[in-house]
Structure formats: C-alpha cells, structure tokens
Amino acid sequence: MNNKLYILFGSIAATALMSGCVSRGNNPGWEYAPDMYYSKGYEAYNQGDSNKVNPYGMNMREPVAGTVAYGKLDYKYNLENSGEGYEASAALLSPADATLEDGRGKYLYDIYCTPCHGANGGNDGEVFKKVSTLKPAWKAYTDDYIKTLPEGKIYHTLTYGKNNMGSHASVLSPKDRWKVIKYVKLLSNQSVAAAEPTTTDSTATTK
Ligand code: HEC
C-alpha cells in the first residue's frame, strides 16, 4: 500500500518537475536567431514589396547575363535574329536524339502547326483558310522549297519566327523543335515516304 502511494506521489512530482522545464504550447523556448526560424516568405512574382536586397524590390531576378542554367545548355542559341543569322543557321545540325520514334514530333506538330500549315503541311489549316493573305508563297511542305530547306533554317524560324509566323520558342524546347522539324521533313517527303503509316487524314492528297 505504502509503496503504491510513493509511486503515485513520485510520478506526480516528476511530471510537475518536467513540465516545469519543458516549454508549453507554441513557445519553443529561447530563440537565439529568430530569422532562422521565421523566414520571410517572399512571393516569387511580386515586385515592389519589402525586398531590400534586390533592386526595385524585385523578388525574382533574371539569371546573370551570359550564364546558362544547369541542364539547359541547348537553350543557348548564338545566332542573331537577322538575315545573316538565318543564313548561318543553315549549317546547324540536329542532335542525334531528334528522331520520330517517340511520336513527339507529330504530337507537337498537330498542336502548334496544324492551325496554319494543316495536318499534312498542305497550308490548308483553318487560319490560312480564313486569312489567305497570311499564306506563304510556297504551297505546301511537299514543295521543293521545304524539301530542300536546311533543317537549321527551320530551327531558326521556329526560334525567332519569320514574317507572319511567330516564334515558337516559348512552347517548344530546343529538343522538341528538332523533333517537330523531323516531322516537317517527313511530311515534305510524304510522296516518297507514303508507305509510312504516319497520317490517315483525308487531306493527305492535298498538294
Ligand atoms: C500563324 C500561322 C502559323 C503557325 C501556327 C505556324 N506557321 Fe510556319 N509559317 C507561317 C507562315 C506565314 C510562313 C511563311 C513565312 C515567310 O517566309 O514569310 C511559315 C513558314 C514556315 C516554314 C518555312 C520556314 C523558312 O525558313 O522559310 C516552316 C518550315 C514552317 N513554317 C513550319 C512550321 C512549324 C513546324 C510550325 C509549328 C511549330 C509552324 N510553322 C507554325 C505560318 C505559321
């Protein structure tokens, strides 16, 4: 009996002692460097708030000029958006992994290019149908112009745009651009590659 009482009082005393040392509730005790606990949550896209470090109170900053983010080396494109740049782009070669195998070239072409150039590159997309003045001089991808157009020049056009065609750099990564180019070349040679089951569209006969 006595033993049980000792244990009871003992544990009450111990609890009282321990809860005396350990802080309660949300109080973590003394803070030696509060900044480390409560970091200021800057909003990435905000500007002009209390950011004292960056100019204009910006939170997000551009990368240092001339630097390339890790793993983004192929985003570096040295040719200028000019006639000379376009001519020089003829020498660009597609990377070895730019193939049609994964179907991504066709997938992206169907999304971004068909509105103007049509499902098979016949320049019969809805936009060109509605505003025929937008159409280029060449009639279809099967024209010799596109057949013989260096892939590098198409890359240049996809990157910067050309006259009525806008830049696609924001929607196609460099690798994707090359894949789409491979698909354009496939379409341009479709009379040659007719055996390939790439298109089942009824407009396939459009020249
Ligand atoms: C808004 C309509 C439009 C869209 C969308 C469009 N194009 Fe074009 N494209 C044009 C026009 C217009 C030209 C003719 C530009 C010129 O030479 O004046 C052109 C030219 C081209 C050329 C010839 C480029 C050269 O260097 O002469 C290629 C190849 C081409 N487009 C491929 C594509 C591909 C691939 C896509 C999709 C990623 C695409 N286009 C999306 C309107 C478009």
Q: Is the pLDDT of residue 47 over 80?
A: no
Q: Which tokens sit at 199?
A: 């298109």
Cα–Cα distance, 127 to 118 (Å, whole number): 9
**157-169 burial code (b ≥16 CB/10 A, e <16):** bbbbebeeeeebe
Model confidence at 133: pLDDT above 80? yes
Residue 65 above 90 pLDDT?
no
In angstroms, what is the span from residue 205 Cα to ligand 1's centroid?
20
Q: Give yes or no for residue 115 CB within 6 A of ligand 1.
A: yes
pLDDT in tens, 88-120: 999 999 999 999 999 999 999 999 999 999 999
Residues in the chain: 207
Query: And the tokens for 164?
Result: 């009525």
Longest dimension (CA), the chain: 107
pLDDT above 70 for 192: no
Looking at residue 49, its pLDDT comes to 65
Token output for 36: 């480390």
Could you tell me the distance, in angstroms and rounded to a whole number, from the CA of residue 145 to the centre of ligand 1? 12
Ligand 1 atom having least distance to the Cα of 157: 26
How many whole angstroms separate alpha carbon 92 and alpha carbon 154? 10
Q: Which atom of ligand 1 is nearest to the CA of 164?
A: 12
Residues 6+ apart with CB under 8 A from 199: 119, 120, 187, 190
CA neighbor of 87 nearest in space, from 28, 15, 162, 8: 162
CB 81 within 8 A of CB 155: no
**C-alpha distances in angstroms, 120 versus 46, 86, 113, 156?**
44, 25, 10, 21
More confident residue, 16 or 5: 5
Over the stretch 134-178, which tens digit does the pLDDT of each residue have?
A: 999 999 999 999 999 999 999 999 999 999 999 999 999 999 999
Does residue 1 surpass a pLDDT of 60? Answer: no
Sequence-separated (6 or more) residues with CB below 8 Å from residue 135? 123, 128
Q: Rounded to the nearest whole angstrom, what is the distance from the C-alpha of residue 93 to the centroid of ligand 1? A: 19
Q: Of 7-21, 52-66, 110-124, where does mean pLDDT reach its minimum?
A: 7-21
